[in-house]
Amino acid sequence: MNRLEQTKDLSPTLYSEAFQQTYHSIHGAISESNHVFIQNGLCELLKTKREISILEMGYGTGLNAALTWQYAIKNQLQIHYNSIEKFPIDAELYLQYITQDTELNLMLSQLNQSDWNIMHSFSSFQFIKSLMDIDSLNLEMKFDLIYYDAFSPNAQPELWTETIFKKMYDSLTPNGLLVTYCAKGQVKRNLKAAGFHVESPPGPVGKREMTRARKLISNNE
């Protein structure tokens, strides 16, 4: 059972009764998504490329996908967006999830009402959301950027292990990135054990820091 809640930047989030957590920060859903995934993930890669393949771990409300699509249009980017979700929210809640940004709402509506497990083409934004868990992820697929947006390690400890992060590492292209709101010490240690170079950029409002992990490939590899 999920319910809508308003966050401090006036954008909505959902509270999950099953996981006892909100889908986004109570300090600002849009603010958090923009800071963690767009500014510290997508914008980092734009220093070297204009066509980017993204894997999102946890489709949730569709907010990260819609914000990425919006940013791609404004900056003339080619985005291939793959999102996986094991526990989709009810269709009625998708309809009720409305922000103060009219353009963003139209994008959310298109993404949330699109069929699962089918590739959709929205001009330069190629999009698929898949009903699956992370264990079913095709390891042959490669991504430039991973939005790691699962519920916290307290709620879903099985998704924050060295084993899972090694799978994420193997799914990234050389010099690819994984970004997440989570900054717990054990999560960072697990990322390092999986092969990542771990950074701790400043976090969004309400958090001291976040985590950005790089798959660094030397010239000898």
**pLDDT, tens digit (0-9, with 9 covering 90-100), for 37-88:** 999 999 999 988 889 999 999 999 999 999 999 999 999 999 999 999 999 9
Q: Supply the pLDDT for residue 218.
A: 63
Whether the per-residue pLDDT at 220 is higher than 70: the answer is no
Whether residue 20 lies inside any domain: the answer is no
Band of residue 221 on the pLDDT scale cut at 50, 70, 90: very low
Distance CA 124, CA 126 (A): 6
Whether residue 11 lies inside any domain: the answer is no
The CA-CA-CA angle for residues 35, 154, 40, to 5°, reads 15
Whether residue 1 lies inside any domain: the answer is no
In a 10 Å sphere around its CB, with 0-12 CB exposed, 13-18 middle and 19+ buried, how is residue 143 labelled?
buried
Long-range contacts of 191-199 (CB under 8 A, 24+ apart): 191/165, 193/162, 193/165, 194/162, 194/165, 194/166, 194/168, 194/169, 195/166, 195/169, 196/165, 196/169
Whether residue 159 lies inside any domain: the answer is yes
Distance CA 88, CA 120 (A): 18
Greater model confidence, 217 or 37: 37
Q: Supply the pLDDT for residue 1.
A: 79
For the beta carbon of residue 28, count every other beta carbon within 10 angstroms.
20
Q: Mean pLDDT across the stretch 159-163?
A: 97
**Distance between first and last Cα of the chain:** 48
Rounded to the nearest integer, the mean pLDDT of the chain is 94
Quote the domain boundaries for residue 81.
29-214
Whether residue 5 lies inside any domain: the answer is no
Domain harbouring 136, CATH code: 3.40.50.150
Q: Domain tally for the chain?
A: 1
**In this predicted model, what pLDDT tens digit does every residue of 78-131 receive, in sequence order?**
999 999 999 999 988 898 999 999 999 999 999 999 999 999 999 899 999 999
168: left (phi over 0), alpha (psi -120 to 50) or beta: alpha
Q: What percent of the chain lies above the pLDDT cut of 90?
A: 87
Q: Mean pLDDT across the stretch 180-184?
A: 97
Whether residue 46 lies inside any domain: the answer is yes
